[in-house]
Structures are given as C-alpha cells and as structure tokens.
Structure 1
Amino acid sequence: MARGFKLIFEISLLLMLSGFCRASTIGVCYGRNADDLPTPDKVAQLVQQHNIKYLRIYDSNIQVLKAFANTGVELMIGITNSDLLPFSQFQSNADTWLKNSILPYYPATKITYITVGAEVTESTDNTSALVVPAMRNVFTALKKAGLHKRIKVSSTHSLGVLSRSFPPSAGAFNSSHASFLKPLLEFLAENQSPFMIDLYPYYALRDSPSNVSLDYALFQSSSEVIDPNTGLLYTNMFDAQIDALYYALMALNFRTIKIMVTETGWPSKGSPKETAATPDNAQIYNANLIRHLINDSGTPAKPGEELDVYIFSLFNENRKPGLESERNWGLFYPDQTSVYNLDVTGKGAVDMTPASNVTSGGGNSSSTTWCIASTKASEMDLQNALDWACGSGNVDCSAVQPSQPCFEPDTLLSHASFAFNSYYQQNGATDVACSFGGNGVKVDKDPSYDNCLYMTTGVGMNKTASSNTTAMTSPSSSSSTQNEAFAWTSSFLLISFLVILLNMGESMKS
C-alpha cells in the first residue's frame, strides 16, 4: 500500500510541475565589431557579475569559448555568412569545424545553439540558397557527435522576411523568399528548432514616425491598437511584430515552430535626426521588455507563451558603419561602466525616467489634436474605413445618423471624420490610431461645429466608448484568466487521475 501511495505522489508531483518547467529567458548579444573592447576573460567576469545567463556571439572565436568555460553561461554561437559556401558544399567541412572549434571546449563551455548565417535575405551576395544545406551539414556533424538534441541549429532573420506585418493577423512571408523559406521551415519543424528573428521597434519608429508612437514602441502606451480581423488588442509594437510572425507561420501550416528573438534593443545615442535614441528611452525599452518577459504574459495571440529574447548588445561597437545610433546599442561602455541602469534579470529595482521626459523623443498622445478623414482619400477607401470604425473599431456612430447632431453635412468625408476622431481619441490619440490605411489626418484645430462636438482624449468620452473600453479584456487580464483556467483544469485532471489509481489499487487488493 505504501508503495502505491509513493507512486501516486510521484506521478502527482510530475503533473503539477509539468506546467512550470519552462519560462522565458533573457540573454544579451556580445558583438565585437570594435577595437577598444575588454579581453574575453574580462567580459566573462562582467557577464557573471551582472547575472547574465545567456549570451550570443556571432562566430566561434576560440578565445571567447575558452573564457566562458565553467561559467555556466549558455552560449549561442554563429557561422558567418562568409563561411556558408564551404559549410554547404562538403559535409567534411562541417565535421572538421565541429571537431576543431567546438568539441575541445564543450561541455565546459555550454553551447546550446548554432546560428548558420545571419539575416541572409538582407545581404546583397545572394547567399540564402546556401543556408539550409549548411544547416543540414552542421546538424549531421552534431548527430555524429551525439549532440544534435543538446545543441539546436537555426538561422537568424530580419523582419524584412515578412511582406506584411500589420495588422498582425495578416502577417505573411515575402513570396520572393519562398524557395529559401520552405526547406528552412521544414528543417526547423523536423528538428524542433526555433525560428530566429531580429526585432527592432526602434527602426519602425525612426523610419515611420507618423504611423508609430514612441509610447507604443516603448511598451508605455495607455491605449490599444485593435487587429480588425481578430479583435485582439495590442499595447506595444513588439507583441504585434511577434504575432505577425506567428500568423505568417500558421498561414504556411507550420504551427509547432517556436519563435526566438535573437536581437532587440534600443540605441542610447543617435544622429541629430534620431531624436528617440536616448539613454532614457533605451533604459525604458529594455526594462519594460524584461518585465514583460519575466511575467510570461505572452502576446495577444499567444497568451502565456514563453519567449526567449536576446538584447542587443553588450557593448557599444565603435567600428560599426552607418548612422551614429549603430555604434550606440550597448548596455556597457568599453571600460565596462554601464551606459544606463538595467537589471537583466528583472529582479532588481530600476530607476525609471518619468514619462514626461520620454514623450519628447517622438510619440503623440496629446489631447489637443484630432483625427479627420483626408480630402485626398477615395470614396471607396473612406467607406471601408468608416464601416470598420463603426463596426470592429467599436466606435459609437449614432451621432452621424439622420436627425442626430453630426449627420449634417450628409457627406462621406464628414461622417468618416467624426468616426475617425472617435476611434483616435478612444485609443489614446496615438499616431497609429489615426492611420486608417493612410486615410486619416491629424489636425490641431478643433473640427467641432454647431452641436456636433468632436471628443478629445479623456474629455467627452461617451458611455458607449467607455463601455467598449471596459469590455475589452487586456492581454494581461486575458492571460491571467487563461492561467486560472489552466490551473483549474490541471487540478481536475490530477484528482481524476488519483481516483483512477486508487480504484485500481482497491481492485487489485480485492
């Protein structure tokens, strides 16, 4: 009988722990495109001092591998684009590389991922066709060494691999990369390897400031962007970009592939036109990202889903070409002092900059702006946008109905303007909320007339708008509900299982 209860206890413990054995992880990218960085052994000390447990390097530098031996830090190592040709041509090249560059340092140096090529679709030398053959050869070399289940093989990509990312539910891969992506995705699914993506909301803000608000990019938006196809609510660009990838994968029927973010971050300094590149914004983005991840809140389309993310980067790299921001992504200066205060573990207190200082870099949440329909928009576009705003957009359009204060003038432009503004104000008066496919225009002059009053953020919010806002479940609360449901279901299954075991025991006894 005691043995039976011991078996029941052990199985129960396994069942209870099964839901808690995996959590999001946070790593840092260790780029070395600089001539003033500390030696690898000093970097290893710095990494351990700041409790960084996961590190990405972009090659298999022997000095780095030696420096991180017996540190417990897990490394993601890389095969550069320039090495893709020999790795793809002959299996012996991959075998020799593994034998000489990896095995002498493993497992003292913990290596968990090998990236084969980096953002090849962005390169001009057309090396994408070499990636999958090289990945297969590296995988075969690992299999020969018995390490193919301990070290995962993948390749990293930029968001440019998508042809469409907004709304997230319309996420789709660029068809021009189809011949490269199909075998790549088949390899990842077959070997349970993640799809690796480099995500930068900063670039979306910098390159399209009229469509992206700073608050939305920094995880600080108090409003929600609604996906019209799913009704899901997005309060930050990071989640929207992740879900666009999930939907793109699902569209090709690759539903089991996990996503890993191999680069994301924010620059602390930029050229004069890069006004959002500040230490305050860099600190806020990374701190909010870390907080978002350690809560395991997931994304609106994947609530509660763990996500592994690597912050770019460990150091400022003075030899990187391009704008000033390119050389200022580091958490640390080359002298190992912090660029800004950040706890990568998410457990320490972070001195956050007041929001009033943040919005100066870009973002628009002013209550003294309105959104109206563009006079250049076609009637078809205006009608579609008006129908969406009054439908999926949850705008109360009763004011533009006959006999109501905003019905006259009875024109599509006037009615659309009222609806556009209502949606804009209900969703925090952000740039994104006045997009409407390029058919919305922000103005600083109140468009109200006669008895037709255009609302502003926090002012004149009617009951319909308020009730719609309240009725929409935020991602965090929906995640909480799902967690409660999961806990209840697990408990029910556990009790049922115990009852079955007890009945079996009684039957055997009798």
Structure 2
Amino acid sequence: MFITMVGVLIIFSTGSGAEASIGVNYGTLANNLPPPHQVAKFLLHSTVINRIRLFDANPQILQAFAHTGVAVTVTVPNDQIPHLTNLSSAQQWISDHIQTHFPSTNIIRILVGNEVISTGNHLLIRTLVPAMQSLHTALVSASLHRRIQISTPHSLGILSNSTPPSSATFRLGYDTHVLKPLLSFLRTTSSPFVVNPYPFFGYSIETLDFALFRSNPGLFDQHSKLLYTNMFDAQLDSVYSAMNKLGFSDVEIVVGEIGWPSEGDIDQISVDVATAAEFNKNVVERVNSGAGTPLMPNRTFETYIFALFNENLKSGQTSERNFGLFRSDLTPIYDIGILRPSGRTLNPENNPRSPVRGSSEKRWCVTKSGAETVALQRNIDYVCGLGLDCGPITEGGLCFSPNTVEAHSAYAMNLYYQTMGKHEFDCDFDNTGEITAMDPSYGNCEYQA
C-alpha cells in the first residue's frame, strides 16, 4: 500500500493478557472528506475506535484529536528520510510536528516512511535506520522517548519466502544490512516491528476460503507440525519466523494495515461489500479473541483496519479507492462491530437532535469537542464533590475505561444534567458541555437518561 492510504493497525503484544484495541488509518487523498473535528467527534462518540494512524503529521488532524485521549500514530513521508539523518533537522521536526501538539494530542508513535525497502530506493533504504536513530535522539533530548515510539512499516515483500511459515526468511542482503540493525534499534527502544499483511493481495480462487477465515482444509507446516486455518495467521507467523532466525523473536509485531475493498474492477473476484464486511469482521474477532497465531499463541492485538474512508483521488484499480469502512458523510458502508449502538444509524453532526433507541425524549450531556482538559477536570471535581455517584468512573468502575479526562468528564457532566432535571443550562459547564440525542453509553458503561 501507499502512504496516502487509510488503514487499520494491529499490534501483537509480546505478552498475553494485554487489552485489544481497534484503530483506523486515517488517510486524506480525497476531495469529499468531512473536516477533522467532525471525524474526531464521530470516532469518539459513535465508535469504539481509540487509535488512529496518520500518513503524515497533519496539524489540523492532530489539533482535532487534542483532549480526546485517542492514541495517534504519525508518519514521516519517505522523501524526508534522508534529511532527518541530521540531528538538528530531526530535532526541528520533533519540535514542529510533535511538541507543538503533545501532550494535548496523545501521540504514541512515529513511523518513519512507509514500506521503504519495497521502494528499491537505495538512498531511502540506506538512510532509514540513521533517520530513526536521529529522531529517537531528538525525543530523548525533549524527554519524550519514554512516551513516543519510533518504527517503520514494511510490506511482506521483505520476505524471500513465506510458505510454510516456519521456513520464512528475510530477503538476502536486506536481512543483515538493514533489518538486523533496525530490529536491534527497535529492541533497544522498546518499539514494535510494523508489517502490512494483506491476504487480499495474496489470495486466488483456490485460496479464497483460506484468506477469508472460512472453513477450509488449511495449510499444514511439515517443519513445525502446525496447522494454519487462515492466511492472516500464516502471514504473521512467517514474519515471526524471519525475525526469530535473526534472534529477535522478542520484538513486538505491529500490523500496520489490513483490509479488503468493497468495490473493484470486473476481473477481481469476491470484491464486494459483503466480502469486505466478512473479512474485516473476522479480523476484528480474531484479534480480539486473544488466541494469537500457531507460533505466537495467546496474543492480543492492537488493530488498525484499512481503512477509515474511501479515497476518491487514489490512482490505480477501482479497489484502491474503496477500502473504506465509512462514506464521506460518516455513514457506514458496512458494520464490523466497531459502532456503538447509537452510531449505527446516526451521525452526530448531521442529526444532532435525532431520536435514539426509539425515543425522541432522551437526551444526554457530553463534552464539547476541543474543550480544554483543565476545564473538564474542574467539571469532574465539581460534580463528584457534590456527593453524586462517581463510582463508575473510578478505577475498577464500569466507565473507568477509557481512562481519559474527557471520557470521565462526559460521564460526570451527564450525571449532573440528569440529576438536576435536564435543563439546558445544567449542561453548560462554562461552555464545555453540549446536549446530544446520541446515547454515549458503551459496553457495560451506561449513561443515565
């Protein structure tokens, strides 16, 4: 995939028991996308997505996600890599693109380039690890190195062979000269190895069921004596095997992109809405199951699905423009289980007073997008100081996660609004609250109404 694409990211934890989380890559190669502040509000209130990946460091998007708690990954474009081998340039980049927004925006990772080895550009490949090292040094000088990781994503083209998974190795030449130093850097800095597996680009008529997680005979690995029932597991274990052969099996694996298009050209098999929904839903279920893979059992995954929106300005086949989960008006092309109940039919910007769950009378008080964290903390202190039941947002409570000031403030503000009689002025909170007809409840966390 190219830098302009939108996708979903998956991280494989090196330990078991980590909490799975769903994210999306947020690309912008389109002329019909909603403004970033509307996207941020939609993701926060209408979906369970708590992570996004950007293919640049767009300041408008970074500002839109300030004070939301959403974990953000930014990307250094490929053409800037050689320039960033210079420490002063790297420090300036961190100052301009990270420190300007952090910590208001929860930036957790910087990806240096995208699938650099696959470009075949020797200048980019030669300067990739030095640029990553310079950026890390810049983070150290800014005391941000324990908060923000540095990595770079790869296509599966870095493998010389991948079938069966246990026999996989990295491409000769790149293995010791590029990938071994890169993996050593990642281990030293506790950063993940990022790969972009795409069963969509590896399937045939014969392997379609294997790619889509359907019932199939599977792939038996004669060397490891393990049976693979889907292509996703096989691709990831191929990466793990190649890393293991270099002595880096302990480095975390992050899947930068995975998805399936909902529309394609006439010669593309099983490229339609139903198949895209089936594949992505199965990926999410597989990731959240904690089952891991045959070589990496009992793993949980941080997942970024490709992609947030269709991007109508992308070149290439029709499918390249149709990987999105949502249309530009924020209505779902299909639902893979990431929408909150109220988000399945409603858009908070287009339908601010629409009925929820069959009742036009229910209203909730939530935080305004962009409200300052300090002001929201004051709201929490005020409401809970009145003696109202803030137990659900204390540690161990049903509404404690996500553990962000905005989320906790929304619960507290709604609690006050409902208790005091649901007057509009009870949701003002110095202009940091707003009334919505969209139920902000999620999972086991119920907002009063």
Please, what TM-score do these two structures have when normalized by structure 2?
0.70
In 2, the alpha carbon distance for the partners of 1:187 and 1:299 equals: 25
**Is 2:161 the counterpart of 1:164?**
yes
Counterpart position of 1:186: 184
Is residue 84–residue 131 contact of structure 2 (8 Å, CA) maintained in 1? yes
Please list, as runs of the form range in 1=range in 2, the aligned pairs for 1:55-70 lying within 5 A after superposition: 55-70=52-67
Query: 1:143 and 1:260 mapped to 2: Cα distance?
Result: 23
SS of 1:263's equivalent in the other structure is coil
Does residue 278 of structure 1 match 2:272? Answer: yes
Shift of 1:20: 7.2
Report the RMSD for the aligned CA atoms in angstroms: 1.9
One-letter code aligned to 1:22: A
- Superposition pairs of residues 463-474 of structure 1, within 5 angstroms: none
1:40-51 equivalences in 2 (<5 Å):
40-48=36-44, 49-51=46-48
Q: Distance in 2 between matches of 1:296 and 1:329?
A: 25
Aligned match for 1:339, one of 333, 344, 356? 333
Aligned position for 2:151: 154
Q: Which whole-Å CA distance do the structure 2 matches of 1:307 and 1:260 have between them?
A: 8
TM-superposed CA distance for 1:348, in Å, is 11
Q: Would you say 1:321 and 2:315 are equivalent positions?
A: yes
Q: Does 1:249 align with 2:217?
A: no
User: Aligned pair count?
Assistant: 327
The answer to whether residue 27 in structure 2 is matched with residue 31 in structure 1 is yes
Q: Partner amino acid for 2:229?
A: T
- The CA distance in 1 between the partners of 2:252 and 2:275, in whole Å, is 29
Give the Cα–Cα distance (whole angstroms) in 2 for the partners of residues 347 and 284 of structure 1. Answer: 20
Within 5 Å, give how 1:425-440 maps onto structure 2: none
Greater per-residue helix proportion:
1
The answer to whether the Cα contact below 8 Å between 1:114 and 1:151 also exists between their aligned partners in 2 is yes
Q: Which 5+ residue runs of structure 2 have no aligned equivalent?
A: 1-14, 345-449
The correspondence of residues 124-143 of structure 1 with structure 2, limited to 5 A, is 124-126=120-122, 127-143=124-140
Cα distance change of structure 1 residues 24 and 348 upon mapping to structure 2, 3 Å threshold? farther
Deviation per CA, 1:392-422: give whole Å up to 9, x if none.
xxxxxxxxxxxxxxxxxxxxxxxxxxxxxxx
Q: Which residue of 2 aligns with 1:108?
A: 104
Deviations 1:105-153 (A, max 9, x none): 1111001110001101121433111110110011011111111111110
Q: Is the 8 A contact 2:264 2:322 kept in 1?
A: yes
| CA distance in structure 1 between the aligned counterparts of 2:83 and 2:144, rounded to whole angstroms | 22
Structure with the greater alpha carbon radius of gyration: 1
Structure 1 residue 27: deviation in Å?
A: 1.1
Q: Equivalent residues in 2 for 1:206-217 (5 A)?
A: 209=204, 212-217=206-211
Matches of 1:20 and 1:174, distance apart in 2 = 30
Structure 1 unpaired stretches of 5+: 1-18, 351-510
Partner residue of 1:204 out of 202, 207, 214? 202
The 2-side partners of 1:20 and 1:193 are apart by 17
Following TM superposition, where does structure 1 have runs of at least 4 consecutive aligned residues deviating by more than 4 angstroms? 345-350
Q: 1:232 aligns with which of 226, 229, 249?
A: 226
Offset, 1:344:
2.5
User: Aligned with 2:81: secondary structure?
Assistant: helix
Query: Scaled by the length of structure 1, what TM-score is found?
Result: 0.62
Indicate the structure whose relative CO is greater, using CA pairs within 8 Å and at least 6 residues apart: 2
Offset, 1:230: 1.0
| CA–CA separation in structure 2 for the residues paired with 1:347 and 1:114 | 33
Compared with structure 1, are the counterparts of its residues 349 and 342 closer, same or farther at alpha carbon in structure 2 (3 Å cutoff)?
A: farther
Residues 317, 145 of structure 1: CA spacing in aligned structure 2 closer, same or farther, 3 A cutoff?
Answer: same
Whether the aligned pair in 2 keeps the contact of 1:26 and 1:345 (CA below 8 Å) is: no
- The share of aligned pairs that are identical, in percent, is 40
